[in-house]
Amino acid sequence: MSTTFALSLKTLRMSIFAGLAFIIAAGAADGQTKAPPASQEIVRAGTQPSLQGPADFFTGRVRVDPVWPANANIPAAAGLTTFEPGSRSAWHTHPRGQRLLVISGVGLTQEWGKPTQVIRPGDVVWCPPGVKHWHGAGPTTAMTHLHVTGTEPDGKNITWMEKVSDEQYNAR
């Protein structure tokens, strides 16, 4: 393994852990956490199956790898989503908002009525509650992001809308 690649992986891991620590600390600062459980819980890598992004909500090939579900202590779910080149989500909103941390590749995101934005590894996108938006890969490069999505007490964390048209996707 080359030194540059090893350093990139190390930097990526540190960015992910720093982002997660910030998200968890922000919840604690808001007073939204409860007493911790009696012991740590470890969910082993590879023990949760990957899911294919449903065609009703995505255009192109999309894979979602769950990371953790929302619970009473941290009311936010997380996952890694990988979009193949040209693939994207449908327009959607989140009742409690969503943060995206781009892990690899080059992606696109757009808020309704605003220009499309290019997103790259290390970029963090905040999608405020109720703001209509989409995200996905660029036309020639796959993109993976970690998403952390606030969840309502009833478990709802997303409202899906119409698909992003090719014209909307290609407008820059």
- pLDDT tens digits for 93-126? 999 999 999 999 999 999 999 999 999 999 999 9
Phi, psi of 11 (to 5 degrees): -65, -40
The answer to whether the beta carbons of residues 81 and 137 sit under 8 Å apart is no
Size of the chain in residues? 172
> What are the tens digits of pLDDT across the range 14-57?
455 445 444 444 454 455 556 666 799 898 988 999 999 999 99
Q: Has residue 130 got a pLDDT over 70? A: yes
Angle of CA points 62, 68, 45, to nearest 5°: 80
pLDDT reported for residue 46:
85
Contact 99, 148 (CB under 8 A): yes
Is 56-170 in CATH node 2.60.120.10?
Answer: yes
Residue 7: its pLDDT value, please? Answer: 45
Give residue 5's pLDDT.
Answer: 43
Q: Residue 9: what pLDDT?
A: 47
Higher confidence at residue 99 or residue 4?
99
Give the pLDDT confidence score for residue 15 in this predicted structure.
52
Contacts of 115 (CB under 8 A, 6+ apart): 172
Q: What is the mean pLDDT of residues 67-79?
A: 94
- Residue 25: the pLDDT is 46
Pick 132 or 8 by higher pLDDT.
Answer: 132
**What values do phi and psi take at 39, rounded to 5?**
-150, 165
Q: For position 3, what pLDDT does the model report?
A: 47
Look up residue 154 and give its two tokens. Answer: 């009833």
pTM confidence score: 0.78
Phi, psi of 20, rounded to the nearest 5 degrees: -65, -40
Query: 117 has which bridge partners?
Result: 109
Higher pLDDT, residue 8 or 51: 51
- 146's tokens: 């970690």
pLDDT at 4: 46
How far apart are the C-alpha atoms of 36 and 58, rounded to whole Å?
37
CA pair distance 68, 104, nearest whole angstrom: 20
